[in-house]
C-alpha cells in the first residue's frame, strides 16, 4: 500500500507553483495553498491564511494537545523554481526508487511528509508531546517574504523544523549572505583617444583585485564549526557599450557568505567602509548598492530541539549527527530575527534541487514523515 506522504506528494507535484519572480506563466502558490487548506480542514484541523502578497498567502495549520505544551512549528515553502527543461515537470513519475517532478525535492517532499504527519496528529492528538503548527509559506525561492510576514504574527513558537532537502541529516547551522553590487564610474571617450577618458572596466579590475587578494583571504579566520569559513564570490560583471567607446561605467555583483555570529547588515556596512577607504586611496570612484541581506543559522547543539531531533533520529535508525550546510533556508529568519531555535530537516539532496531531473528518494519521504511524527510525540521544549 502506498505511503500517505507519497500520495500527497504526487498531488503537490501536479500543481504548478512556480514563483512569479521566474516570469510569465508562473502560477505562484495559490493552488497549493488551496490544496493544503482543503486537506487539513477535511482532517479536522484548524486552518488560517495570512496574506503576504496579492494572491499569495501563507497557510497556518494548528493542532493543540489535550494538555498545555510548547508549540513546535513544522515549516515548508510552497513555491518552486521555474519548470526549466524538465520533460514532464508536473507529472509525477516513479523510477528506481525515486519520484521525479518539479518540486519533488525542493521542497514538496518535505511538505508532503509534514502534511501526512498532521493528518496522523489530528487522529491521535493525545499522543503528541507538544502543540504543533504546520506553516506553509510563500516566496522562499526569491525574497523570503513569506517567512518574514509569518514572524509578524508573533506565534509563541518554542522551536521550528524547516523542511528542505538535507538527505535526512539534522542541519543546525547554515550560511547566510550579504549580497551587493559595486558600481565604478569613469569617463567616456572615443577609443582612438583613450587618454581623454577614464576606463571604468580597468578601474573595476583593481577593485576586483582588492576583493580577491585582500578581503577574501581574511575570511579564512571567520568560520563556523559546522559550516566552515565565510566566503566571497564575484558572480557577475557588466560594463561598456561598444568596442570603440571608453566605458564610463562598470558593475560587479558580489556574494559574501556569512556564518553564525555575523550580522548581515554589519558585514555589508564594514565592506562598504573598506571599499570607500580603498577607493579614496587609489583614486577610484565607486558606489556600493545593497542587494540582499540574509541571516545565517546557528542553533546551539545543546538546544532542546537539536537534542530531541538527534534522539528521534537515533530511535528511528536514521542519521543522528548534527551538521552544517553552505546554502540558506527560511530557518535562519526564524532564528536570527524571531529568536526561534530552528533546525533544517527533510528528504532529498540539494544536488537535485532546481535540476533538470529533479527527484526525491521514495524511502526518504517515508522516513521523513516518520521523523516529523516521532519528534512531535517526544518534544517537550
Last residue of a domain, one of 245, 272, 294: 294
Grid-cell match 554589519, residue found = 266
Looking at residue 66, what is its pLDDT? 86
Check whether residue 229 and residue 357 sit in a common domain.
no
Check whether residue 290 and residue 304 sit in a common domain.
no
How far apart (Å, rounded) are the C-alpha atoms in residues 291 and 274? Answer: 18
Question: Percentage of the chain surpassing pLDDT 70?
Answer: 100
Looking at residue 323, what is its pLDDT? 97
Over residues 358-378, mean pLDDT: 97
Provide the pLDDT confidence category of residue 140 given band limits of 50, 70 and 90. Answer: very high
**pLDDT per position as a tens digit, 65-112:** 988 889 999 999 999 999 988 999 999 999 999 999 999 999 999 999
Check whether residue 110 and residue 235 sit in a common domain.
no
| Cis, bond preceding 107 (omega within 30 deg of 0) | yes
Bridge-based pairing of strands 157-162 and 342-344 is parallel
**pLDDT per position as a tens digit, 107-126:** 999 999 999 999 999 999 99
Check whether residue 86 and residue 100 sit in a common domain.
yes
Q: Is 280 exposed, middle or buried (0-12, 13-18, 19+ CB in 10 A)?
A: exposed
How far apart (Å, rounded) are the C-alpha atoms in residues 24 and 63? Answer: 37
Q: Does residue 169 contact residue 321 with C-beta atoms inside 8 Å?
A: yes
Residue 246: CATH number of its domain: 3.30.70.360
Bridge-based pairing of strands 223-224 and 249-258 is unpaired
Check whether residue 99 and residue 210 sit in a common domain.
no
Q: Does residue 105 contact residue 93 with C-beta atoms inside 8 Å?
A: no
| Cα–chain center distance at 247 | 37
Last residue of a domain, one of 294, 322, 340: 294
Q: What is the rounded average pLDDT for all residues in the chain?
A: 97
How far apart (Å, rounded) are the C-alpha atoms in residues 254 and 50? Answer: 34
pTM score of the predicted model: 0.93
Give the closest residue to 72 by CA, choosing from 120, 116, 134.
134
Check whether residue 183 and residue 276 sit in a common domain.
yes
**pLDDT per position as a tens digit, 188-241:** 999 999 999 999 999 999 999 999 999 999 999 999 999 999 999 999 999 999
State the total domains in the chain: 2
Check whether residue 188 and residue 300 sit in a common domain.
no
Over residues 143-159, mean pLDDT: 97
Q: Given a cut of 90, is residue 1 above it in pLDDT?
A: no
- Note down the domain range covering 269: 176-294
Check whether residue 228 and residue 168 sit in a common domain.
no
Last residue of a domain, one of 241, 271, 294: 294
Check whether residue 156 and residue 301 sit in a common domain.
yes
Check whether residue 282 and residue 193 sit in a common domain.
yes
Over residues 257-283, mean pLDDT: 97
Cα–Cα distance list, 27 to 78, 80, 93, 128, 341 (Å): 11, 10, 22, 36, 33
Q: Given a cut of 90, is residue 157 above it in pLDDT?
A: yes
Give the closest residue to 17 by CA, choosing from 135, 103, 85, 109.
103
Q: Given a cut of 90, is residue 359 above it in pLDDT?
A: yes
Over residues 5-21, mean pLDDT: 98
Torsion of CA 46, 52, 54, 55, to 10 degrees: -30
Looking at residue 70, what is its pLDDT? 97
Q: Given a cut of 90, is residue 24 above it in pLDDT?
A: no
Give the closest residue to 282 by CA, choosing from 230, 207, 371, 221.
207
Looking at residue 181, what is its pLDDT? 98
Check whether residue 168 and residue 197 sit in a common domain.
no
Residue 368: CATH number of its domain: 3.40.630.10
Over residues 375-381, mean pLDDT: 94
Other C-beta atoms lying within 10 Å of the C-beta of residue 13: 27
Question: Percentage of the chain surpassing pLDDT 90?
Answer: 96
**pLDDT per position as a tens digit, 282-312:** 999 999 999 999 999 999 999 999 999 999 9
Check whether residue 226 and residue 165 sit in a common domain.
no
Provide the pLDDT confidence category of residue 4 given band limits of 50, 70 and 90. Answer: very high
Looking at residue 364, what is its pLDDT? 98
Amino acid at each position: 500500500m502506498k505511503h500517505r506522504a507519497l500520495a500527497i506528494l504526487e498531488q503537490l507535484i501536479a500543481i504548478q507553483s512556480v514563483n512569479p519572480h521566474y516570469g510569465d506563466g508562473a502560477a505562484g502558490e495559490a493552488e497549493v495553498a488551496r490544496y493544503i487548506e482543503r486537506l487539513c480542514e477535511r482532517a479536522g484541523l484548524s486552518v488560517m491564511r495570512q496574506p503576504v502578497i496579492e494572491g499569495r498567502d501563507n497557510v497556518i495549520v494548528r493542532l493543540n494537545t489535550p494538555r498545555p505544551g510548547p508549540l513546535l512549528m513544522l515549516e515548508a515553502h510552497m513555491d518552486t523554481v521555474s519548470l526549466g527543461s524538465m520533460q514532464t515537470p508536473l507529472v509525477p513519475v516513479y523510477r528506481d526508487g525515486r519520484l521525479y517532478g518539479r518540486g519533488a525535492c525542493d521542497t514538496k517532499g518535505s511538505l508532503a511528509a509534514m502534511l501526512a504527519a498532521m493528518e496522523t496528529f489530528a487522529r491521535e492528538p493525545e499522543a503528541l508531546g507538544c502543540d504543533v503548527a504546520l506553516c506553509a509559506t510563500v516566496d522562499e525561492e526569491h525574497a523570503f517574504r513569506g517567512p518574514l510576514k509569518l514572524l509578524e504574527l508573533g506565534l509563541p513558537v518554542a522551536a521550528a523544523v524547516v523542511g528542505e532537502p538535507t538527505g535526512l541529516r539534522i542541519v543546525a547551522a547554515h550560511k547566510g549572505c550579504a549580497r551587493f553590487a559595486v558600481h565604478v564610474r569613469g569617463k567616456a571617450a572615443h577609443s582612438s583617444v583613450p587618454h581623454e577618458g577614464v576606463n571604468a572596466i580597468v578601474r573595476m579590475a583593481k577593485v576586483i583585485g582588492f576583493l580577491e587578494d585582500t578581503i577574501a583571504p581574511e575570511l579564512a579566520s571567520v568560520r563556523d564549526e559546522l559550516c566552515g569559513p565565510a566566503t566571497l564570490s564575484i558572480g557577475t560583471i557588466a560594463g561598456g557599450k561598444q568596442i570603440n567607446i571608453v566605458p564610463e561605467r562598470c558593475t560587479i555583483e558580489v556574494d559574501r557568505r556569512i556564518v553564525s555570529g555575523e550580522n548581515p547588515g554589519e558585514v555589508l556596512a564594514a565592506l562598504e567602509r573598506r571599499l570607500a577607504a580603498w577607493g579614496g586611496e587609489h583614486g577610484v570612484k565607486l558606489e556600493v548598492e545593497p542587494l540582499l541581506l540574509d541571516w545565517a543559522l546557528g542553533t546551539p547543539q545543546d538546544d532542546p530541539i537539536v537534542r530531541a531531533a538527534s534522539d528521534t533520529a537515533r530511535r528511528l535508525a536514521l542519521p543522528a549527527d548534527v551538521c552544517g550546510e553552505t546554502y540558506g533556508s527560511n530557518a535562519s529568519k526564524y532564528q536570527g530575527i524571531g529568536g526561534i531555535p530552528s533546525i533544517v530537516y527533510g528528504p532529498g539532496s540539494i544536488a537535485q534541487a532546481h535540476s533538470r531531473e529533479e527527484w526525491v528518494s521514495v524511502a526518504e519521504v517515508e522516513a521523513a514523515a516518520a521523523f516529523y511524527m516521532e519528534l512531535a510525540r517526544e518534544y517537550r521544549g
